[in-house]
């Protein structure tokens, strides 16, 4: 018999696995909640998000609001929608928001998307896609983009995600052992030239795949997916009931570099315009404004002092600044969470510990400490899930340092 999640009110969500010891980590293959349409880095499991929200039916059923301030591919907003709750998802990465919207839209009718005519009036000067593709290939991709612009609405998002997939599939050679550090061609000779008919066939295959996946979707409630900064949320104070979220971790994942190809499709060149990359939490760029005088709790301060004292190159310089900047963004996000939440709110936070060289980065304990400074206490014991494959386990130069195991933790907070 197919598994299902049954809410106290009797609402049934078929196909959702039983709670048990369900981890927030997305399984290697997850099709629930359209997770396979564009598997987003560090996305959590749809089934897990459904179970987190299902416990709060009483608070949410009429007019309560769910928020995910680091919404990524929109797992939280989709889970909330599937259960019939209002939800807002914020993310500063516009790529994430295209995917989140696609997953939550209703496609009662997927319009036919025909091959674009070969036009010459498409400008490809200074096109950011030229970092991977030769000019005729860029031109053909832009002709497909124009088809989406002419159609608008959900079909445009569908085509955009199909193009994200097609670009990923054809540019694998620019991914290194760390899949989040996407390289660019060294020069024009290193770019890819794909014959127009071959490229069209690839794009059409991805349109067919995405159309088939979203075709069965029916939405119960419109949700709100907004491109916005978790350090400055466009949300009224005291208005949110439940948060289910996962911020970037202190693992040097640069989301703008990881999604540089998709951002290029959206017209954003992260090499010439560094503003988005600099603003994303966890960025490896150091901003001009200093963040070193920001007051942190004891656990975060201890970590900073261990990094500063580390004898490896740049620990007391660049790496200290990067960690300070990360902690500044994390705590600014927690300040905003505190402002927008009602007094009765519950916050479910998924975070992963990591290592800087051989220094343990206790992100879960840092969050517990920083949340306590803002009036939040743990509502239940943290749930910890061991993490088997981390980015440092893929990074050869990082392997010279002896490290312990790391865990992903689910922290549940309430006020008082």
Which is closer to ligand SAM, CB of 184 or CB of 231?
231
Closest approach of ligand SAM to the CB of residue 41, in Å: 7
Residue 117 CB neighbours (<10 A): 8
Q: Any contact of residue 326 with ligand SAM (CB under 6 A)? A: no
Choose the binding region for ligand SAM from 85-93, 103-111, 122-130, 379-387 (rule: CB under 6 A): 85-93
Cα–Cα distance, 131 to 261 (Å, whole number): 9
> How many of the chain's residues bind ligand SAM (CB under 6 A)?
23
CA distances from 194 to 70, 132, 139, 175, 189 (A): 36, 11, 11, 18, 13
197: left (phi over 0), alpha (psi -120 to 50) or beta: alpha
Type and span of the H or E element at 81: helix 75-82
| Residue 49 C-beta: closest distance to ligand SAM, Å | 7
Residues in the chain: 416
Contact predicate 59/235, CB 8 Å:
no
Task: Rule CB under 6 A: choose which of 25, 53, 66, 70 binds ligand SAM.
Answer: 70
Start-to-end Cα distance in the chain: 43
Nearer to ligand SAM, 130 or 363 (CB): 363
One of 75, 86, 160, 180 touching ligand SAM (CB under 6 A): 75
**Among residues 104, 265, 281, 347, which is the contact residue for ligand SAM, using CB under 6 A?**
281
Nearest Cα to 329, choosing from 294, 303, 364?
294
By the rule CB under 6 A, 229 interacts with ligand SAM: yes
Q: How far is the CB of 174 from ligand SAM (least distance, A)?
A: 20
By beta-carbon proximity to ligand SAM, the closer residue of 96 and 203 is 96
Examine residue 260 and tell whether it contacts ligand SAM (CB under 6 A).
no
Q: How many CB atoms lie within 10 A of CB 286?
A: 15
* 90 binds ligand SAM, rule: CB under 6 A: yes
Binder among 52, 65, 93, 217 for ligand SAM (CB under 6 A): 93
Q: What is the 3-state secondary structure (H, E, C) of 352-408?
A: ECEEECCEEECHHHHHHHHHHHCCEEECCCCEEEEECCCCCCCCCHHHHCCCCCEEE
**Residue 119: how many other CB atoms lie within 10 Å:** 11
Radius of gyration over alpha carbons of the chain, in Å? 22
Q: Which two tokens stand for residue 9?
A: 């009110």
The yes or no reply on residue 43 touching ligand SAM (CB under 6 A) is yes
Residue 322 sits in the site that holds ligand SAM (CB under 6 A): no
- Residue 65 as a binder of ligand SAM (CB under 6 A): the answer is no
The one segment of 175-183, 186-194, 274-282, 312-320 that binds ligand SAM by CB under 6 A: 274-282
Residue 310 C-beta: closest distance to ligand SAM, Å: 26
- Whole-number Å distance between alpha carbons of 353 and 369: 14
Contact residue for ligand SAM among 80, 280, 320, 361 (CB under 6 A): 280
Question: Rounded to whole angstroms, how far apart are CA atoms 178 and 301?
Answer: 29
Out of 13, 42, 145, 203, the only residue in the binding site for ligand SAM (CB under 6 A) is 42
Could you say whether residue 255 binds ligand SAM (CB under 6 A)?
yes
Q: Parallel, antiparallel, or unpaired: how do β-strands 65-68 and 86-91 relate?
A: parallel
Site for ligand SAM contains 48 (CB under 6 A): no
Residue 245 parent element (H or E): strand 240-245
Shortest spacing between CB 233 and ligand SAM, in angstroms:
9
Please state, in angstroms and as integers, the Cα–Cα distance from residue 32 to each residue in 11, 19, 35, 49, 305, following that order: 18, 15, 6, 11, 43
Rule CB under 6 A: choose which of 246, 260, 315, 322 binds ligand SAM. Answer: 246
- Cβ count within 10 A of residue 198: 11
Question: For ligand SAM, which residue of 52, 65, 211, 230 counts as binding (CB under 6 A)?
Answer: 230
Q: Which stretch binds ligand SAM (CB under 6 A): 50-58, 138-146, 243-251, 310-318?
A: 243-251
**Binder of ligand SAM out of 25, 37, 38, 44 (CB under 6 A):** 44
Q: Does residue 91 touch ligand SAM according to CB under 6 A? A: yes
Binding residues (CB under 6 A) for ligand SAM: these are: 40, 42-44, 70, 72-73, 75, 90-93, 96, 229-231, 246-248, 255, 279-281
């Amino acid at each position: 018999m197919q598994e299902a999640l049954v809410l106290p009110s009797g609402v049934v969500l078929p196909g959702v696995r039983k709670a048990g010891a369900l981890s927030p980590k997305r399984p290697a293959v997850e099709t629930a909640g359209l997770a396979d349409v564009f598997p987003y880095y560090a996305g959590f499991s749809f089934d897990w998000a459904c179970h987190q929200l299902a416990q709060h039916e009483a608070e949410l059923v009429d007019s309560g609001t769910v928020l995910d301030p680091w919404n990524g591919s929109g797992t939280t907003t989709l889970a909330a929608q599937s259960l019939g709750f209002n939800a807002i998802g914020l993310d500063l990465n516009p790529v994430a928001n295209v995917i989140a919207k696609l997953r939550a839209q209703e496609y009662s009718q997927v319009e036919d998307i025909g091959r674009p005519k070969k036009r010459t009036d498409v400008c490809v000067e200074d096109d950011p896609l030229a970092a991977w593709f030769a000019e005729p290939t860029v031109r053909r991709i832009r002709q497909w983009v124009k088809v989406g612009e002419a159609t608008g609405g959900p079909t445009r998002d569908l085509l955009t995600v199909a193009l994200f997939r097609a670009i990923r599939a054809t540019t694998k050679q620019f991914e290194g052992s760390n899949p989040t550090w996407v390289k660019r061609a060294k020069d024009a000779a290193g770019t890819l030239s794909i014959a127009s008919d071959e490229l069209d066939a690839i794009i059409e295959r991805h349109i067919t795949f995405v159309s088939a996946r979203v075709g069965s979707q029916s939405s119960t409630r419109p949700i709100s997916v907004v491109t916005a900064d978790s350090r400055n949320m466009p949300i009224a104070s005291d208005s949110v009931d439940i948060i289910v979220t996962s911020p970037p971790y202190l693992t040097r994942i640069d989301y703008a570099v990881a999604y540089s190809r998709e951002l290029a499709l959206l017209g954003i060149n992260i090499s010439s315009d560094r503003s988005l990359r600099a603003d994303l939490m966890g960025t490896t760029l150091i901003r001009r404004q200093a963040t070193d005088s920001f007051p942190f709790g004891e656990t975060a301060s201890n970590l900073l002092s261990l990094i500063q004292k580390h004898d490896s190159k740049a620990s007391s310089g660049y790496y200290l600044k990067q960690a300070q900047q990360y902690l500044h963004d994390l705590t600014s996000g927690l300040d905003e969470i505190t402002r927008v939440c009602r007094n009765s709110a519950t916050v479910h936070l998924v975070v992963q510990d990591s290592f800087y060289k051989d220094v343990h980065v206790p992100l879960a304990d840092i969050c517990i400490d920083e949340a306590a400074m803002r009036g939040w206490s743990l509502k239940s014991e943290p749930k910890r899930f061991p993490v088997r494959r981390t980015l440092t386990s893929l990074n050869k130069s990082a392997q010279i340092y002896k490290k312990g195991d790391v865990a992903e933790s689910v922290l549940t907070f309430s006020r008082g």
